[in-house]
Structure 1
Amino acid sequence: MNADARSASLIEIEHDAYEVPGVVLLTMNRPDAFNALSEALLDELQSALTEIGRSDARVVVIAGAGRAFCAGHDLKEMRAAPSLAYYQRLFARCTKLMMTIQRLPQPVIARVQGIATAAGCQLVAMCDLAVAADSARFAVSGVNLGLFCATPSVPLSRNLSRKAALEMLLTGEFIDAAEAKQQGLVNRVVPADALDAELARLAASICAKPVEAVSAGKGLFYRQLEMGIEAAYQLAGQTMACNMMDDSALEGVQAFIEKRAPEWKR
């Protein structure tokens, strides 16, 4: 395994994390600020993810250093230069990061401990998968400050039921990890001391699958969500037909017929 830290030390990058080849761990490194998304942190995450998207990495894990996953935007920084133009640029920058996560060919998993609030909760919702410690808590608490969490509402409304998402947005109240799993915000909840082992299992399971099927499948999944059902089926059929002609699928199907394990190229 190999790790490197960016010059500003706002993120740490570890390759082959959890001793799983192909897994890249990005750790937000502002523990004293609960990993609040400052402009500099947003930029470093954007740069790192863009670079990973062009690499042969298989899975990305996003984590937070210290006691929290992410407390959302840096409110002190936001109040230091209040103007409509500044806020528009800031939220556009955050939106670009969130969409980069969705468009990345690699699956992105959130590793959640402590709190994930406001844009931090948004980050969890935008990740393809999420594993949380049983002590984790989630909230979109902007309404408590007189600010509706409009941008977090976008992924929340696409992960949770409409009423569950609106309750979080309108009350600003925390939900625990068990409820987050029940509502569809996270996939798995485990004791804090088992968090990394669970992430290793999930990441290894994905890495064991053919890269072409995983990347094409992720892209198809999100594109079809925005379509009508007939157009979605057309796109899915075309994707599956092309996938069937791929060497990995041909080998997988032949291996199934011959009752043996597939021998995929890594």
Structure 2
Amino acid sequence: MTDLLLSDLEGGVLRLTLNDAATRNSLSEAMMAGLQAALDAAATDRAVRVIVLAANGPAFSSGHNLKEITGHRADPDKGAAYFAALFDACAKLMMSVVRHPKPVIAEVAGLASAAGCQLVASCDLAIAADTARFCTPGVNIGLFCSTPMVALSRDVVPKHAMEMLLTGDIFDAAHAARIGLVNRVVTTNELSGTVSELAAKIASKSMVTVKTGKEAFYRQLDLPLEEAYAYTSRVMTDNLLKRDAEEGISAFIGKRPPQWNDE
């Protein structure tokens, strides 16, 4: 783990903190590589039950590093190959968050801009401080936020997503909560405690159950209604056959706390 990304594991909660305030925590090549490696490692680490993405400095993330991008305009192909590889890496990172077997929570205290906003939208849950701000400002510099649009349009209703994308305006945390980009807004002083409490609550659940549910949630969203019910009926059948489902139901009937095996 580089100094660009700090890592701390406590009580089953892996806290990954973007730590590049000099570039406003831009999603540089190095930052994305660090996040990707950390997420990949956490996927098979049984000690990790929940992941929190946070950031140091005034910005959660300013998005792609425009200086890195501009530097490749001098390439023989004017940067085309580099740009394609960059956006492929970013797409892989965002899909890794969505498809990760562990829940991922964004803790947002500052500005989440462009691909930084995309990262927030890709997380399963997001808690924002009242100081947080959100925008997809690419239209202001001649570069429409097309890849951030993918996550944003799957998180909020189309007209709100289009307003952000077409205006490039900065929206406050209260607006982000109203349109569903974040779950709730708290004060800056309450932010870390609120996220820690939420993460600990989720970490106390059966991880095989949480993994099953998260995967099913995103898969059924893209299915027609009848297919979604058929698919989730199969998921629930398989879930009921798991050891933790048997334990959880027995504990509920017996009025005792369950003892999870994560199996």
Range into which the TM-score falls when normalised by the shorter chain = over 0.9
Answering whether residue 9 of structure 2 is matched by residue 29 of structure 1, we say: no
Amino acid at match of 1:11: L
Taking the TM superposition and a 5 Å limit, the aligned residue runs for 1:177-188 are 177-188=173-184
C-alpha displacement of 1:117: 0.3
C-alpha displacement of 1:86: 1.3
For 2:3, the equivalent position in structure 1 comes to 9
For 1:3, the equivalent position in structure 2 comes to none
C-alpha displacement of 1:192: 0.3
For 1:80, the equivalent position in structure 2 comes to 71
Q: For structure 1, list consecutive stretches of 5 or more residues without a partner in the other structure.
A: 1-5
Amino acid at match of 1:15: L
Q: For structure 2, list consecutive stretches of 5 or more residues without a partner in the other structure.
A: 74-78
Taking the TM superposition and a 5 Å limit, the aligned residue runs for 1:1-266 are 6=1, 8-16=2-10, 21-56=11-46, 57-82=48-73, 83-265=79-261
C-alpha displacement of 1:171: 0.2
Q: TM-score, normalised by structure 2?
A: 0.95
Q: Is the 8 A contact 2:26 2:63 kept in 1?
A: yes
CA distance in 2, matches of 1:252, 1:146: 54
Amino acid at match of 2:27: L
Q: Deviations over 1:79-137 (max 9, x none)?
A: 00022221111100100100111111000011101100000000000011111101100
C-alpha displacement of 1:197: 0.5
C-alpha displacement of 1:255: 2.1
**Runs of at least 4 residues of structure 1 off by over 3 A?**
none
C-alpha displacement of 1:246: 1.2
For 2:76, the equivalent position in structure 1 comes to none
Q: TM-score, normalised by structure 1?
A: 0.94
RMSD value over aligned CA atoms?
1.1
Q: Say how many residue pairs are matched.
A: 256
Q: Is the 8 A contact 2:243 2:261 kept in 1?
A: no
> How many percent identity over aligned positions?
48
CA distance in 2, matches of 1:254, 1:48: 36
Q: Is the 8 A contact 2:32 2:93 kept in 1?
A: yes
